[in-house]
Amino acid sequence: MQRIYTVAEMQTQSDTWRGAGLRLGLVPTMGFLHEGHLSLVDHSLKVADRTVVSIFVNPLQFGPKEDFAIYPRDMERDLGLLTRRGVDAVFHPQPAEFYPLDFSTFVEVQDLTEGLCGAFRPGHFRGVTTVVAKLFTAVRPHLAVFGQKDYQQSAVIRRLVRDLHLGLHIEVAPTIREADGLAMSSRNINLSDDERQRASALYQALTMGKERIERGERHAAGLVADLRAHIAREFTDRIDYISIVHPDTLEEIAAITGPVVIALAVRLANVRLIDNIAAIPPEK
C-alpha cells in the first residue's frame, strides 16, 4: 500500500492509473477507522480498479467549540486495517499544503446545508464541501464512496458534484451498526460505558418512528414529539433536532404521504451523535 503526502504526488499517481485505463475509487475519511468506513472501502475495492483512502481530520469543518482537539486518531491501526483490506494507496493531506496561511477559496452549497446539522454547525458543510472538492482535485477519482450515516452530507456532496460538473460518481453505502443498533462512529469512543449503553435509544427511536410510519402514521409533529420523549428519557435531553424530511430536498415534512428520512442529532458532554433511517408509508 502506497502512502502519498502531497497533492502533486497524488495527481501524478492518479494520471498514471488513469493513463492505464484504470477506474479510481476514493473513500474520504477522518481516520480512526471502524467497520462503517471499511464497508465503504470494500465497496470501492469491488467497483473500482484502484482504491485510494484519504485520512485527514479536516480542521475547516469543526467549529471553534467543537471536538477537533479530542477527535480520536490512531494512524498505525488505520494503516494495518487498510493494508489487510487491500487498499492501493492512502492519501495523507498535509495541513500546511491543504490550508496555507493565505488560503482563501471556499466551496459552498446553499439550501441543502441550511437545515438539520447545518442549522447547528455554522460553517460545517462549507468546510466539508471545500475539503471534498480539494480531495477530488488531488485524487481525480472516477467514483467516491460516502456513508448514508451522514445523510445530509451525502446529499450535499451529490449536489456539489452536479452543480460544478465534477464528473465523478457519488455512491452512498448503508449505515453499519453495532449489535445494539448504535451507528458506528469514531466518536463513540468518547462515550462513557454508561452513555454507550444508553446510546442504543437513538436507533430504538428511529426504528420506532419507521414502524409507525409503515403502519400509517402521517402526522410528523406528533411522531417527532414521541421520539424526542423516548430519547430524552433514555439517553439525553440535549437534542439538536429530530426531523422528518424529504429524502432529496431535506425539507421538513408535516404530513407523511411519501418516502421520508427521519434524521436526528444529539449531544452528550463533548460528543455529538447523528443517525437517520428511511421510511416509506403504506399505499393508501
Residues marked as catalytic = 37
For residue 247, CA distances in Å to 18, 190, 230 come to 34, 30, 24
Residue 190 CA to residue 200 CA, distance in Å, equals 15
Cβ of 97: how many Cβ atoms within 10 Å?
Answer: 13
Q: Are 232 and 239 in contact (CB under 8 A)?
A: yes
CB-wise, 37 or 142, nearer to ligand AMP? 37
Q: With respect to ligand AMP, which residue has the nearer C-beta, 40 or 224?
A: 40
Indicate whether 127 belongs to the interface with ligand AMP (CB under 6 A).
Answer: no
Strand-pairing partners, residue 91, are 4, 54
Residue with cell 454547525: 121
Least separation in angstroms between CB 77 and ligand AMP: 14
Is residue 82 part of the contact set for ligand AMP (CB under 6 A)?
no
Reduced to 3 states (helix: H, G, I; strand: E, B; else coil), residue 252 is strand
Shortest distance, CB of residue 86 to ligand AMP, whole angstroms? 18
Q: Within positions 97 to 126, which residues make up the interface with ligand AMP, using CB under 6 A? A: none
52 and 89 Cβ atoms separated by less than 8 Å: yes
At its nearest, how many Å lie between ligand AMP and the CB of residue 70? 14
Look at the block and give the residue holding cell 448514508.
148
CB of 128 to ligand AMP, least distance (A): 9
Q: Which of 13, 44, 51, 186 binds ligand AMP (CB under 6 A)?
A: 186
**Total site size for ligand AMP, rule CB under 6 A:** 17
In this complex, which beta carbon is closest to ligand AMP, that of residue 185 or of residue 243? 185
Among the listed residues 226, 177, 235, the one whose alpha carbon sits nearest the alpha carbon of residue 202 = 235
Q: Give me the least distance between CB of 31 and ligand AMP, in Å please.
A: 7
Does the protein bind ligand AMP through residue 175 (CB under 6 A)? yes
Residue recorded with cell 460553517: 123
User: 14, 51, 185, 243: which one contacts ligand AMP (CB under 6 A)?
Assistant: 185
Stretch that binds ligand AMP, among 43-51, 83-91, 92-100, 178-186 (CB under 6 A): 178-186
- Closest to ligand AMP by CB, 17 vs 62, is 62
- At 169, phi and psi to the nearest 5? -90, 135
Which residues touch 17 (CB under 8 Å, ≥6 apart)?
24, 49, 50
Residues of this chain that interact with ligand AMP (CB under 6 A) are 29-30, 36-37, 39-40, 146-147, 149-150, 173, 175-176, 183-186
